[in-house]
Structure 1
Amino acid sequence: MSRTSARLSDVAREAGVSLSTASKALRGGGRISEATRERVRAAATRLDFRPDALARSFAEGRSGTVGVLTRRATNTFARPVTIGAVLQLGDQHRAALVYDGDVATSGAMSESIRELQARRIDGLLVIGDGHEHETPSITRYFDVPVTYVFAASDDPEDVMWLPDNRGAGAIATRHLVERGARRIVHVTGPADSIAVQRREAGMLGALDPAGLVVPVRRGDWSRAWGAAATRDLLGAGVEFDGVVCGNDHIAFGVLGVLTAAGMRVPEDVQLVGADNWEEVAMEGLERRRELTSVDFGLMQLGRLGAADLVDPNRAPGEHRAPIRLVTGSSTR
Structure 2
Amino acid sequence: MADQLITLSDVAAAAGVSLSTASKALNGTDRISAATREHVRVTADRLGFRHNALARSFARGRSQTIGVLTHRASNPFTRVVLATAATELGAKEQAILLYDARIDEQDVTESILQLRARRIDGVIVIGTGTSFPTPSLTSRFDVPVIYAFTFTEDPDDVTITSDDTAIGRLAATHLLSTGRRRIAHITAEPHDNAAQRRAVGAGQVLADAGLDWVTPVRFGRWRESWGEEAAREVLAAAPDVDAIFCGSDAIARGTERVVRASGRQVPGDVALIGVDNWEQLMHDQRVSRHLTTIEVGLEEIGRQVAARLLEPDPEPGIQYVAPQLVIAETV
Answer whether TM exceeds 0.5 for this pair: yes
Over 4 Å off, 4+ runs? 284-287
Give the partner amino acid of 1:37: R
Partner secondary structure for residue 130 of structure 2: coil
Query: Offset of 1:21 from its aligned partner?
Result: 2.5
1:47-196 alignment to 2 at 5 Å? 47-105=47-105, 107-196=106-195
Change (3 A) 1:2 1:72: same
Query: Offset of 1:130 from its aligned partner?
Result: 0.9
Partner secondary structure for residue 135 of structure 1: coil
User: Could you tell which deviates more after superposition, 218-227 or 231-240?
Assistant: 231-240
Alpha-carbon distance in structure 2 between the residues aligned to 1:226 and 1:280: 20
Counting aligned pairs with the same residue, the percent is 47
Residue 18 of structure 1 is matched in structure 2 by 18
Alpha-carbon distance in structure 1 between the residues aligned to 2:113 and 2:228: 46
Q: Which runs of 5+ in 2 are unaligned?
A: none
Query: Offset of 1:296 from its aligned partner?
Result: 1.6
Alpha-carbon distance in structure 2 between the residues aligned to 1:286 and 1:146: 37
Give the partner amino acid of 1:206: V
Alpha-carbon distance in structure 2 between the residues aligned to 1:3 and 1:278: 42
Residue 318 of structure 2 is matched in structure 1 by 318
Change (3 A) 1:234 1:42: closer
Residue 37 of structure 2 is matched in structure 1 by 37
Give the partner amino acid of 1:31: R
Alpha-carbon distance in structure 2 between the residues aligned to 1:5 and 1:216: 65
Task: Kindly provide the CA deviation profile for residues 157-212 of structure 1, in whole angstroms up to 9, marking residues without a partner as x.
Answer: 01111112111111110111111111111100111111112212211222232111
Partner secondary structure for residue 66 of structure 1: strand
**Superposition TM-score, scaled by structure 2 size:** 0.93
Partner secondary structure for residue 134 of structure 1: coil
Change (3 A) 1:46 1:277: closer
Alpha-carbon distance in structure 2 between the residues aligned to 1:30 and 1:259: 69
Alpha-carbon distance in structure 1 between the residues aligned to 2:82 and 2:48: 32
Change (3 A) 1:42 1:266: closer
Alpha-carbon distance in structure 1 between the residues aligned to 2:75 and 2:245: 24
Give the partner amino acid of 1:43: T
Q: Which runs of 5+ in 1 are unaligned?
A: none
Give the partner amino acid of 2:22: A
Change (3 A) 1:52 1:286: closer
Give the partner amino acid of 1:197: Q
Partner secondary structure for residue 107 of structure 2: helix
* Contact 2:235–2:241 (8 Å) recurs in 1: no
Alpha-carbon distance in structure 1 between the residues aligned to 2:326 and 2:58: 48
Residue 255 of structure 1 is matched in structure 2 by 256
Aligned residues: 329
**Superposition TM-score, scaled by structure 1 size:** 0.93
Give the partner amino acid of 2:311: D
Partner secondary structure for residue 315 of structure 1: coil
User: Could you tell which deviates more after superposition, 252-261 or 93-102?
Assistant: 252-261
Query: Offset of 1:233 from its aligned partner?
Result: 2.2
